[in-house]
Amino acid sequence: MSFKFPFGLLLLLAIPVLIIIYIIKNRYKEKVTSSSYIWELSKKFLKKKNPLNTISNLLNLIVQCFCIAFLSFSLADPVLNFKNGAENEVYILDSSASMGIENEDGLTRFEKAKELIKEDVENATSGSTFTLVVSDSNSRTICKNIEDKDIFNSILSRVEIDYGESELKNAISLAQSLSSEGEGSKFSLYTDKEVKVEDGLETFNVADTSKNYAISDLRVSAIEENETPAILLEADVNSFNEDTELEVEFFLNDESLGTVKGEVKKNELATLSLKITDNIDKFANYSSIKAQILNEDYLKEDSEFIIYNSTDFDTTSVLIVSNSPFYFESVFKALSYNNTRVSYAVIPPMLYSFSGGTVAYDIVIFDGYSPEKLPTDSAVWLFNCGESIPDSGFYVQKEYTVEDPGIKASYANNTDDLLYQELTKDLIKRDITIKTYLRYTLNSKFTTILSYDNLPFIFAGRNEFNQKEIVFNFDLHNSNLPLLADFIILMRNCITYSNPSILTDFNYNVNDKVTFTFPDTAINCEITTPSGKEEYLSAIDIETYTLNEVGTYSVKVDLATGKSRNINIFSAFPLEERNPNVVEENTYSIVLNTEAPKADRIFEALLVVVIISLILLLADWMLYSHEQF
């Protein structure tokens, strides 16, 4: 036996005080009466009751002592422990994506499983401990050996569906380790899958015959229908419970394009398609195309599929600081005809020096001009800068002019470098003839793109401001580069590097990792999840983000130019979790540790002690007042 509040036993000190009071108190009382008859009658009555007086007083003292003792024990809150009388309960909860399917009673399978666990906890023997293991794409132990039922239920209520694939094998392994360590004596698995179990594990299947249909893919393609251009929309659909007719509606930018019906057999992939021959130009720059199943479905998350496009990206804005921008203007106009959208402005070096150096462009090009300081809110290209620029990452040494026809610079042997691969993508890589050039000394880590006699002629990387920088140590007018086919491709690659597309793919599955590539003008990145939560990424260079929910993620990237890029990403329901009637192929069991002790059963005797105290108080009152009855 133990006591929660042992200071309550101090009340036992009242017993010797009570005894002293009984010893010193005056037991006789004088009464005056005017009638001898009453006196004689009184004497007769006292003689009749006197034999019991001594016994009643003694019993009264004993009862009061017992009352004090029991009240003292009540205040101390005694707890009785029965060795190995309770269980160390271990609950394995499947929190994978399929547990989000609704049952016929309107509760999801996940909610049903949590209700069953709470009922079991409520009915568990006092003194039992509770451990929770979740099974999803990252199976883990949530809590261990919790004694308080309310605390455990609170933890259980906060567990959410992972929307990943179930990893029952890993969860069972975690449970087995708990058994081996003596921290579990009873194991229960709550899942929606048909699982074969052996000794040591009890399973509860929370699934019923819920209907579920799914769209696993959506495709858009251009075709010809009777020599007429058309757009073909194709949706791959499944029915997991029955042979049925499914109806699918297609949308372009949230505008309905029509519906298609088709027979779909159980667990067989079918394709429902819709041909569009009118106004197909709308598909050239669409922002979203969606397919949605209209049939009643107990799992809504996999009943639609969305394809997003990147047409809302801004055009790359370029400031050219040059007295002779002819080659730049020509190449940017050529790129605009090849789906690389560039808007540019030209400013003479003198006017730029008056501007204070702060601009709001994605890329700033300095051609034959060395600014006093570099802009910190954009990527920079430096061509033939004759003076050293603070924080640029290189120093100017000397200008060299060679005899005709000039030197032939060649592309460096940096094929293993990712930046080199990006800037030289699709190039023919012909040698470049250069008449006059500047020799630079580098003090930052740059990737050499073009070189001559081990001297870098074109190099790229990040300067002291950590901004993307591309440097040419020669004037375009003093080379044949603008006359080569590589010039347009090289400029395209430089734009892609300096002002990259934040994303190139907009469709993923749950738990996929998305890699964002941010331009130097990016200030911050805000992500709104399908459930409405707002999360933020550091908009510096490359960041990775994991998609944990099903549906559309909205991404907003604020730029130093005052504009923002808005991107939508669709995260699809995992294919492996769409079938609501999965049968687990593996057989699972838990080897119980017979030597490990169970939890001690707890019996709190407070209520019993209080009841006994009240009974004794009532008995004492009856004895003390018996003369009145």
DSSP 486-529: HHHHHHHHHHHHHS--S-S--EEETTPEEEEE--TTEEEEEEE-
Provide the 8-state DSSP code for 122: H
Q: Torsions phi, psi of 587, nearest 5?
A: -105, 130
Is the distance from CB of 213 to CB of 246 less than 8 angstroms?
Answer: yes
In whole angstroms, give the CA distance from residue 87 to residue 21: 50
CATH number for the 88-209+580-597 domain, one of 3.40.50.2300, 3.40.50.410, 1.20.1050.10, 3.40.50.12780? 3.40.50.410
In whole angstroms, give the CA distance from residue 576 to residue 345: 52
Strand partners, 293: 248
Q: Is the CA virtual torsion 596, 598, 599, 600 positive or negative?
A: negative
Is the distance from CB of 184 to CB of 575 less than 8 angstroms?
Answer: no
Closest by CA to 5, choosing from 599, 606, 601, 600, is 606
In whole angstroms, give the CA distance from residue 215 to residue 213: 7
In whole angstroms, give the CA distance from residue 530 to residue 526: 13
To which CATH superfamily is domain 213-308 assigned? Immunoglobulins (2.60.40.10)
What is the per-residue pLDDT for 581?
73
* Contacts of residue 576, Cβ cutoff 8 Å, sequence gap at least 6: 165
Instruction: Let me know if the fold of 213-308 is the same as that of 507-573.
Output: yes
What is the per-residue pLDDT for 410?
95
CATH 2.60.40.1930 fits domain 507-573: yes
Strand partners, 205: 191
In whole angstroms, give the CA distance from residue 172 to residue 170: 5
User: What are the structure tokens assigned to 237, written together?
Assistant: 């659909």
What is the per-residue pLDDT for 282?
82
Q: List the CATH code of the domain at 316-498.
A: 3.40.50.880
Structural domain spans, the chain: 2-81+605-628, 88-209+580-597, 213-308, 316-498, 507-573
For the chain, which ranges sit under pLDDT 50? 47-52, 312, 626-629
| Inter-axis angle of helices 36-76 and 606-624, nearest 10 | 170
In whole angstroms, give the CA distance from residue 156 to residue 116: 11
Provide the residue type at 353 as one letter.
S
What is the per-residue pLDDT for 628?
42
Strand partners, 407: 434
What is the per-residue pLDDT for 511?
87
List the Cα angle 251/255/258 in 5-degree steps: 55
User: What are the structure tokens assigned to 8, written together?
Assistant: 């309550």
Provide the 8-state DSSP code for 27: -
**CB 102: neighbour CB atoms within 10 A?**
20
pTM above 0.85, yes or no: no
Is the distance from CB of 274 to CB of 247 less than 8 angstroms?
Answer: no
User: What are the structure tokens assigned to 120, written together?
Assistant: 């079991």
What is the per-residue pLDDT for 59?
66
Start-end of H helices in 342-396: 349-355
The 10s digit of each residue's pLDDT in 509-532 is 988 999 998 888 888 999 999 999
What is the per-residue pLDDT for 264?
94
Q: Is 524 exposed, middle or buried (0-12, 13-18, 19+ CB in 10 A)?
A: middle
Is the distance from CB of 328 to CB of 365 less than 8 angstroms?
Answer: yes
In whole angstroms, give the CA distance from residue 297 to residue 578: 12
Q: Torsions phi, psi of 406, nearest 5?
A: 105, 180
Provide the residue type at 309 as one letter.
N
Is the distance from CB of 215 to CB of 303 less than 8 angstroms?
Answer: yes
Per-residue burial over 147-169, b = 16 or more CB atoms within 10 Å of its CB, e = otherwise: eeeeebbeebeebebbbbbbbbe
Give pairs for 533-537: CB < 8 Å, separation 24+. none
